[in-house]
Amino acid sequence: MGRRVGVVLLLGAIAITAALIIGNAPKQAEAGFTSEKVKALVSYLEGGSPYNLKLQALEALRKKTDSGVEGELEKIAKGKDTRLAVAATTALGRKKTTKAKTSLKGLLENTKLKSPVRIGALSAILYGWKDKGDFTYLSSKTKGNAKLVAHYTRTKSKLFATGGE
């Protein structure tokens, strides 16, 4: 059994490496289009790979600076795999770009998403930007959802000792 797990991990690592290498050949940049490397990583994330390898691919995707990465992370956050979706919200928060924050706000406002994903988006906004100017916005977007309100109140009080809005 241990040997089988080792082989699966090795094959997964090879697949991630291949995904990162794809597209190293010089290519003409197309504005607004995602690179082949990013597409390969997203394809890997959508496959049936082990979860730990998906997390590695997600981290590799987060580090990419290609246009469209934030959009791809948002799509993953809207996906069916809740654990991966929450990890994608964290990745968006770590990007710290205007596009990432816009995506996170969209995820927070999307009432069709599961609470853990919305909580992940809320946390990413609070921890990623630590902007007191977001208090009014976040307070209004968490109303009506007890889990979001509780998380928002607890997290805000930890981050900002003054706690005022």
What contacts 91, CB < 8 A, 6 or more positions away? 58, 59, 61, 62, 73
Q: What would the pLDDT profile of 62-77 be if each residue is shown by its tens digit?
A: 998 888 899 999 999 9
User: Over 60: is that where the pLDDT of 133 sits?
Assistant: yes
| Residue whose structure tokens are 């003054």 | 162
Between CA 22 and CA 38 the distance in angstroms is 9
User: Over 90: is that where the pLDDT of 106 sits?
Assistant: yes
> What one-letter code names the amino acid at 16?
I
Q: What are phi and psi of 94, to 5 degrees?
A: -75, -15
Between CA 136 and CA 119 the distance in angstroms is 17
User: Over 60: is that where the pLDDT of 10 sits?
Assistant: no
